[in-house]
Amino acid sequence: MFLKKIPILSDNYVWILYNIQSFCIIIDPGVSEPIIKELEKKKWEPIAILLTHDHIDHTGGVKKIVENFPKITVFGPNETKRHGVNKIISEGDKIFILNKIFYVFFTPGHTPGHVSYYSHPYIFSGDSLFSGGCGRVFKNKHLEMYNSIKMIASLPNNTMLCCSHEYTLSNLKFSMFFLPDDKFIKVYFKKIKERLNLGKSSLPSFIIFEKKINLFLRTDERCVKRSLGLKNNSTSFEVFVKLRLKKDFWS
Ligand SMILES: [Fe+2]
Ligand SMILES: [Fe+2]
């Protein structure tokens, strides 16, 4: 399977997995037009749509894509069912498509029913774990988000993080504000800035990098606690909550 991403709206990506037989799977089509154009251009036949959660920038294109390709199967959590989902999935489900297994992980916190799809080497994390950060937490479900991103970070180091937004640079600026002397973050920031200046993307990232650049995954480290004005005996979860609240007012 090969991976392609299509930038849509202001900072979303729609991910497409395709094989040499020209069949493909679309993840979170927030709009339809550029996706249908790409499918027609490449002569790809979409077999399935996978939805992570019920936000319009992830689901807005489903209806039109299904109208154009009526044989397609739409998978999604219960919260997305009004978007034409014909296979409701939940935690622990395994989806078999195009000779690949997609494991469904329940990753709530951003929305109550948010899921991520894992098919090695790819994790499609929607708006849960971002490169350098994590999604906004709605309805105060911080513990859910904390557990969700820790679970994603426990995947093998060579897993490719395919999240849904290009927020990496802004997330790294946030990280550098709190850890201005962190050499790895500084180097990574420079690399990503160069990539974006060339019109490229920061994604996919790798889990091994996220463990180093993503402060939300480093909440047990003393330097992070100190930079937030927290005591050494603060719990990792307390650090996460303070960090998330700081980020809420950051941008
Ligand atoms: Fe969202
Ligand atoms: Fe989103």
For the chain, first and last CA: distance in Å? 36
138 CA distance to ligand 1 centroid (A)? 10
Residue 250 is predicted with a pLDDT of 86
Half-sphere exposure of 118 (CA within 13 A, CB side): 19
Q: pLDDT tens across 29-48, in order?
A: 999 999 999 999 999 999 99
Binding-site positions for Zn(2+) read 53, 55, 57-58, 110, 127, 165
222 CA distance to ligand 2 centroid (A)? 31
Degrees to nearest 5, angle at CA 167 with 166 and 172: 135
Q: pLDDT tens across 59-95, in order?
A: 999 999 999 999 999 999 999 999 999 999 999 999 9
224 CA distance to ligand 2 centroid (A)? 27
Q: Where are the alpha helices (DSSP H) in 43-84?
A: 56-59, 62-68
Residue 169 C-alpha from the chain's centroid: 15
pLDDT mean over 142-163: 98
229 CA distance to ligand 2 centroid (A)? 31
Q: pLDDT tens across 168-211, in order?
A: 999 999 999 999 999 999 999 999 999 999 999 999 999 999 99
Q: pLDDT tens across 8-20, in order?
A: 999 999 999 999 9
Residue 68 carries which side chain, given as an amino acid letter? N
Q: Which tokens belong to 224?
A: 């992070």
Ligand nearest to the CA of 12: 2
Binding-site positions read 53, 55, 57-58, 110, 127, 165
Q: Which tokens belong to 7?
A: 């930038």
Specify the pairing of strand 122-126 against strand 45-50: unpaired
Residue 30 C-alpha from the chain's centroid: 14
Domains in the chain with CATH codes: 2-248 (3.60.15.10)
